[in-house]
Amino acid sequence: MTGSDDVEAATAAGSGMVGGDDDDNVGPYDPFDIATTKNASVQTLKRWRLKFDNLNTLNGYGAEVPKQAALVLNASRRFRYTLDLRKEDEKEQRRRMIRAHAQVIRAALLFKLAGEQATIGGCKRCALVICYKEEEKNGTTVSSPSSIGDYLIGVEQLASISRDHNFSALQEYGGVKGLSDLLETNLENGIDGDDANVTKRRNMFGSNTYPRKKGRSFLMFLWEAWQDLTLIILIIAAAASLALGIKTEGVKEGWYDGGSIAFAVFLVIFVTGVIRDGRPVEISIFDIVVGDVVPLNIGDQVPADGVLITGHSLGIDESSMTGESKIVHKDQKSPFLMSGCKVADGVGTMLVTGVGINTEWGLLMASISEDTGEETPLQVRLNGVATFIGIVGLGVAVSVLAVLLIRYFTGHTRDSVGKVQFQSGVTSVGDAVDDVIKIITIAVTIVVVAVPEGLPLAVTLTLAYSMRKMMADKALVRRLSACETMGSATTICSDKTGTLTMNKMTVVEAYVGRKKIDPLDGSSHLHPDVSSLLHEGIACNTQGNVFVPKVGGEEKMEISGSPTEKAILAWAVKLGMKFDVIREESKILHVFPFNSEKKRGGVAVQHDTKVHIHWKGAAEIILGSCTEYVDSNDCLQPMGEDDKEFFSKSIYQMAARSLRCVAIAYRSYDLDKMPNHEEQRDQWVLPENDLVLLSIVGIKDPCRSGVQDAVRICMNAGVKVRMVTGDNLQTAKAIALECGILASEADATEPTIIEGRAFRVLSEKEREQVAKKILVMGRSSPNDKLLLVQALRMSGEVVAVTGDGTNDAPALHEADIGLAMGIQGTEVAKESSDIIILDDNFASVVKVVRWGRSVYANIQKFIQFQLTVNVAALVINVVAAVSSGDVPLNAVQLLWVNLIMDTLGALALATEPPTDHLMERSPVGRREPLITNIMWRNLIVQALYQVGVLLVLNFCGRSILHLKDETRKHATEVKNTMIFNSFVLCQIFNEFNARKPDEINVFTGVTKNYLFMGIVGITFVLQIIIIEFLGKFTSTVKLSWKLWMVSAAIGLVSWPLAIIGKLIPVPETPFARFFIKTFQRWRAGHCA
């Protein structure tokens, strides 16, 4: 297969990506098209950089990969704005090396555990001797505790235990309890949280940070800028022009041309180089110190190296360190926890033994801590477009060079006074060389104006600006391309709790037995034994906590946990629950953490000689497992059909009022049947049948203010909002009606509203058909959300998904844009996301959509502006050069125009803030062409005008400007200055037109954009200075105020002309697609 075939095959594969728009598919001849870089392979990212032949090279793993594109102009400069794929390979090799070290440690630990088990039966002593001998040989003999600073154990000893997973050493120190004593840590209350103690620990054991690599110096950026092929050509031209000028006009006058080009080159380079004290305390992970006691819950990231204190069904995903996706279960025989790993299941607490650079994760992060230079789809397309235009410009420049040389050597070129420049046998070699250098300089100017260097810079600027502004709008961008993709989003699958609602929950209704508790804190209505059971179930079956300070009492009580748990704990406290007393008197035997699949969590509690198994979860699910209920007088009643109907009706009524319904139940269990050993208990499944219903509570979570407006804005913008929640379907329906997702009760029919279990049983094709109709999905599991995302993407939707739980990670990863919640979101969810919504508010999601559209719109504005300049300048110089052998716009002038286009133009147009008009359009098609028909119309109208006017000035300027009485040389200088001045003013006026490509009024909001106004003002002032004071540098002369007025009038015409142009209708089918389809048909017929 040839390199060309590789390009077509790779592009064709990219065109078949999930979620592609068939109508927008331009076929396999668009090598610059990458629909999405999310989860894209390195080969996909490389495909437009392929060398167009069959030469391949070997990468670091011995695999064949294509070389970097031979036809990419200024590759080193162009790729400054894109992903460095070679560095990605190097970083992956470092990761593999560190992971391999972790694998060896893990294998040694398993081998050692197997050896210890083999010693049972009489060989234990022998095995221990071998073990100690081996440790001595390896230099890891356990030293006896000795005073090191303020503690009886040092950094190296702790690091050795954690790094080598040295279980024998841990036992030598007395296990976790012994280690905590050496570190002066209370395993229940943690360390003393005063600043002095924390500082002492940080000084002794280090901080939980890792060294970051120093950023590249300014000189490094300058050196990169020097690699630009265009600038190298210009430098050579500057040197030649300098030598030529000094030779012909002397040092005093002759240095201006070459020196001004060199100064302009330098200008371009510099511009473009651009739980303490017994209570839970939330602190930054960077503030964690050795000795801290850290609680671990599902979805957390292990913040440091440590050993397990207590744990229940604790499963750790160590794939970030070992590369294995297998979940590793942690217990007292395998207690070591590695920083950077994720809690996949269960709960536990850990004692921190290593932080920062003294951990494997710290070493890893220190070795790869650098900017990834992530490549976005828009950057890929822009780099491709810039390269293509550059090649065309280079081709035109070479052609013009050839024409000029032919004209010169055939005697068709005349100087400023009309004399033939080259006469065979008369013109000296020196003069001929001088004239040829001038011709080459003309060709160089065409290259300068043709290469749109500002395109990659513009996308970098607009993305950087948008990211900074999005942070102010409570959105943290983790993946650059998500900024762009949000502009194409056609649907948002949103969570309910905390996103559409405020996540401030309170119990507003409660039933104990068939009796409604009123008032809610009316504990006198309950039998003491019922209260006791209820309090025990709430206090023990929770990951939350109630902290009552010694000073202040219940008035300053702090309740922690999830919003649902906090609401239930607060209600129980009102009923008289003593949280600390219950936890001290109860022994927790086994925990089944709340599971979003099963929608419930349970705990086995021993109180004296009794064992109670408490369950809490979704009301209708818990109710389905109940065979009895306790009434408020502590009488056990069988759960008959009438009772079930009563409770189901109560749940339905509460849900219809948008209340979250939670049921609390228990059952007794025989202590003799409990597993005796911890290992057996960890594998034990809590009985979840024959339960006794204790209570059903209704929890209110009000809608966020502004959600209705945000949903309406999305709907008007063509973005469909869908609610996906684990709550009861009736609760979800009520909230959806309140938020405006459902317009009326009449819409609340299947499949518009559907339960997760009904959706998951459908076939793949049926899911795809139903998915587009779904607006509300209730009682959904994380897997249901994933299936919905997949079905929507398969049907061509561009999907944004919000999520906060660990189990949301697959859906966040699968979606085109994953939006994690910054407050309630777990670390796993955040790591799988592209953007983190810092305030968990749906209105912030809508702002992200606005910014996404703004990024795309700003880039299109800049493309229209720059290509207008490119086309006009190119045509003017080419026509003038071919017809007269000279150009009206010289190298220095075009470098100034280039600066206006590239840097100042990009800065002005790329920083336009989003407007409400953006949310009145349909979403941008995933494969919609960068240059739309509207842009082509605007571009052609302005370019034709500029070319026409300036060519008239070029050929008829002497008579129009009344310069016939002037000398030929002076008249030519005035005419060329007028052309240059008019051309620059046309660009300044046209910059306003570029702000609103599809609106008549281009001045809306312009005075509020201070940066834009400032750049336009600075550009105009600099133009005056250049014309009036820097004539020798730019080869211009001073203009009279009349000529300035004429120049301004020529530029001003572009405003009414733009209005007239926007009245011209354009077809909906993109011009690009029409030409590509024509080419495809021609090629197909030609190949046939």
Active site positions, annotated = 495
Q: What are the residues facing 516 on neighbouring strands?
A: 511
| SS3 labels along 656-682 | HCCEEEEEEEEEEECHHHCCCCHHHHH
Containing 101, the helix (H) or strand (E) segment is helix 85-118
Dihedral angle of Cα 976, 977, 978, 981, to the nearest 10 degrees: 130
Full DSSP string of 168-200: HHHHHTTHHHHHHHHTT-BTTTBS--SHHHHHH
**Residue 859 near residue 871, CB atoms below 8 Å:** no
Residue type, 177: K
Tokens 């592209």 -> residue = 834
Count Cβ neighbours within 10 Å for each residue of 376-414 and write b for 16 or more, e otherwise.
Answer: bbbbbbbbbbbbbbbeebbebbeebbebbbebbbeeebe
645, 776, 685, 801: which is closest to 723 by C-alpha?
776
User: Which tokens belong to 864?
Assistant: 């229209």
CA gap 776, 603 in Å, rounded: 32
- What's the distance, CA 630 to chain centroid? 51
Tokens 């062409």 -> residue = 929
CA gap 1000, 408 in Å, rounded: 48
CA gap 441, 397 in Å, rounded: 10
Q: Compute how many other C-beta atoms are within 10 angstroms of the C-beta atom of residue 1013.
A: 13
**Residue 256 near residue 245, CB atoms below 8 Å:** yes
CA gap 335, 340 in Å, rounded: 16
CA gap 61, 556 in Å, rounded: 61
Which residues, in sequence order, are CB contacts of 404 under 8 Å at separation 6+?
413, 439, 442, 443, 881, 882, 885
Collapsed DSSP state (helix, strand, coil) of residue 517: coil
CA gap 520, 576 in Å, rounded: 12
